[in-house]
């Protein structure tokens, strides 16, 4: 019995390390898909989001997300500030699969992801201090509240047909996606992006860096989904690895084919986001799907990424990295797919999934709108025109990521 507990706990700690690596993946992907003059700013945000997430989750977030049985079926609960030492914290008395400390650190690694998603969408024109304030509130309060509704035994979990989200297509990815959408709407587009009714691409400065970021994220996703089994159960963990891999592969092919048809190009950025879209799509039901289901979910997610990127561009919603398309659109798709495919497929389950998507969407959209709007009318959320043209690395950090490289800012000066 002790050996099984040790094995389960060891796997959960390994999964935590894998999820930690995802933050390096986000940093690499976002910096690669944006201009070199903003690289330090992108890296700075990613280097501070995780510490903010860890600290807020330690101080109060963990006890909001998991407030205890007395808050079962409720909208909000709170078990007090800080971490405690519950009875049996370091053995099976707390949980048969892991210690109290392993539970906290695994869950804490998820917390910062919501703000990381927002970071990419609002890149290259948001004020750093305003973004960090948003991160503290959104990660510290909004994310754990929404997580509690399902994972902490809240009202979505208590429905007659329980809302299902295995590892967070809605509770992690769409939470970030809704925040990203609001941020993009209130910020407006980057200078030179939409001119005279035309869409002018602003290429990222390093596709190799972006590609490395995606593979780091795929690698980390084995901990994101595999760790969500919450034990080292060999059958279930191996199934989740397979469904996760097949959905990612399906996402790549779905994006490849759709990009050839829609944008008539072998677009690497679309394939990379297609992989991520497949991963986001399978996350809600990775433990419920079969081989065919996983491939279909991935293929559809990959196609949706391309169509969504084109749609948001036509709507003049400027998302430099495609975060809204990947995390919001595919997060919704993956959540609804639980009611269509796999073991839980059925009308009642689909309705529950739809309710969950809708409730979380309204709450996160309104919350993000309120936070961003208050920041906009107080400290402001957008850098000056001059700072955007020069680059946020100089304006916000007084340094360059590539000091020996002189970047051509002609596009900004001509088309702004």
In this prediction, what percent of the chain has a pLDDT beyond 70?
Answer: 96
pLDDT per residue over 166-219, tens digit each?
999 999 999 999 999 999 999 999 999 999 889 999 999 999 999 999 999 999
Domains and CATH numbers, the chain: 2-70+81-415 (1.10.3430.10)
pTM > 0.75: yes
Which residues, 6+ apart, have CB-to-CB distance to 265 below 8 Å?
259
Torsion angle of the four alpha carbons 132, 116, 8, 88, in this order, in degrees rounded to the nearest 10? 20
Around Cβ 40, how many Cβ atoms within 10 Å?
Answer: 21
Average pLDDT score over residue span 220-245:
97
Average pLDDT score over residue span 70-82:
94
pLDDT per residue over 14-24, tens digit each?
999 999 999 99
Q: What is the pLDDT of residue 136?
A: 97
Average pLDDT score over residue span 318-328:
97
Average pLDDT score over residue span 77-104:
85
Helix 39-56 with 2-32: angle, nearest 10 deg: 150
Contact yes or no for 264/296 (Cβ under 8 A):
no
The model's confidence at residue 406, banded by pLDDT at 50, 70 and 90, is: low
Average pLDDT score over residue span 27-48:
97
Report the first-to-last Cα separation within the chain, whole angstroms. 66
């969408």: which residue's tokens?
A: 121
For residue 92, pLDDT over 90 is answered with no
Three-state SS annotation for the chain: CHHHHHHHHHHHHHHHHHHHHHHHHHHHHHHHCCCHHHHHHHHHHHHHHHHHHHHHHHHHHHHHHCCCHHHCCCCCCCCCCCCCCCCCCCCCCCCCCCCHHHHHHHHHHHHCHHHHHHHHHCCCCECHHHHHHHHHHHHHHHHHHHHHHHCCCCCCCCCCCCCCCCCCHHHHHHHHHHHHHHHHHHHCCCCCCEECCEECCCCCCCHHHHHHHHHHHHHHHHHHHHHHHCCCCHHHHHHHHHHHHHHHHHHHHHHHHHHHHHCCCCCHHHHHHHHHHHHHHHHCCCCCCCHHHHHHHHHHHHHHHHHHHHHHHHCCCCCCCCHHHHHHHHHHHHHHHCCCCCCCCCHHHHHHHHHHHHHHHHHHHHHHHHHHHHHHHHCCCECCHHHHHHCHHHHHHCCCCCCCCCCCCHHHHHHC
Torsion angle of the four alpha carbons 48, 319, 140, 237, in this order, in degrees rounded to the nearest 10? -90
The model's confidence at residue 290, banded by pLDDT at 50, 70 and 90, is: very high
Contact yes or no for 371/178 (Cβ under 8 A):
no
For residue 97, pLDDT over 80 is answered with yes
The model's confidence at residue 405, banded by pLDDT at 50, 70 and 90, is: low
Structure tokens at 195: 């001119």
pLDDT per residue over 127-175, tens digit each?
999 999 999 999 999 999 999 999 999 999 999 999 999 999 999 999 9
Least confident of 1-5, 165-169, 182-186, 280-284: 1-5
Strand partners, 198: 195
Average pLDDT score over residue span 229-246:
97
Q: What is the pLDDT of residue 414?
A: 44
Average pLDDT score over residue span 317-323:
97
Around Cβ 212, how many Cβ atoms within 10 Å?
Answer: 16
The model's confidence at residue 94, banded by pLDDT at 50, 70 and 90, is: confident
Average pLDDT score over residue span 335-361:
97
For residue 99, pLDDT over 60 is answered with yes
Q: What is the pLDDT of residue 86?
A: 76
Question: How high does pLDDT run on average in the chain?
Answer: 94
Q: What is the pLDDT of residue 416?
A: 45
Contact yes or no for 32/204 (Cβ under 8 A):
yes
- Of residues 225 and 97, the one with the higher pLDDT is 225
């Amino acid at each position: 019995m002790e050996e099984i507990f040790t094995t389960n706990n060891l796997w959960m700690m390994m999964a935590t390390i894998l999820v930690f690596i995802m933050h390096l993946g986000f940093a690499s992907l976002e910096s690669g898909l944006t201009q070199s003059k903003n690289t330090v700013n992108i890296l700075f945000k990613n280097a501070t989001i995780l510490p903010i997430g860890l600290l807020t989750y330690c101080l109060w977030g963990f006890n909001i997300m998991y407030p205890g049985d007395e808050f079962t079926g409720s909208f909000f609960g709170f078990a007090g500030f800080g971490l405690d030492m519950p009875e049996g914290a370091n053995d099976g008395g707390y949980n048969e699969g892991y210690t109290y400390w392993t539970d906290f650190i695994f869950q804490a690694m998820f917390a910062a992801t919501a703000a990381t998603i927002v970071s990419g969408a609002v890149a290259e024109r948001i004020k750093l201090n305003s973004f960090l304030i948003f991160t503290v509130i959104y990660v510290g309060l909004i994310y754990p509240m929404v997580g509690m509704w399902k994972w902490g035994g809240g009202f979505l979990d208590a429905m007659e047909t329980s809302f299902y989200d295995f590892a967070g297509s809605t509770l992690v990815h769409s939470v970030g996606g809704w925040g990203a959408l609001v941020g993009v709407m209130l910020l407006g587009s980057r200078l030179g992006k939409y001119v005279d009714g035309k869409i002018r691409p602003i290429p990222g400065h390093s596709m190799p860096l972006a590609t490395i970021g995606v593979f780091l994220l795929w690698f980390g996703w084995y901990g994101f989904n595999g760790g969500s089994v919450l034990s080292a159960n060999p059958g279930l963990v191996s199934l989740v690895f397979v469904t996760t891999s097949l959905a990612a592969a399906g996402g790549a092919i779905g994006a490849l084919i759709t990009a050839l048809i829609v944008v008539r190009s072998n677009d690497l950025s679309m394939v990379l986001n297609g992989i991520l879209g497949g991963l986001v799509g399978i996350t809600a039901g990775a433990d419920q799907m079969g081989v065919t289901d996983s491939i279909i979910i991935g293929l559809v997610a990959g196609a949706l990424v391309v169509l969504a990127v084109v749609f948001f561009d036509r709507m003049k919603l400027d998302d430099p990295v495609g975060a809204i398309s990947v995390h919001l659109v595919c997060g919704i798709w993956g959540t609804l797919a639980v009611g269509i495919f796999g073991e839980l497929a059925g009308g009642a389950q689909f309705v529950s999934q739809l309710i969950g998507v809708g409730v979380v969407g309204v709450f996160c959209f309104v919350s993000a709108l309120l936070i961003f709007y208050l920041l906009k009318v107080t400290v402001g959320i957008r850098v000056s025109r001059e700072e955007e043209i020069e680059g946020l690395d100089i304006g916000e950090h007084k340094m360059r990521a590539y000091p020996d490289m002189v970047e051509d800012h002609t596009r900004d000066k001509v088309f702004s």
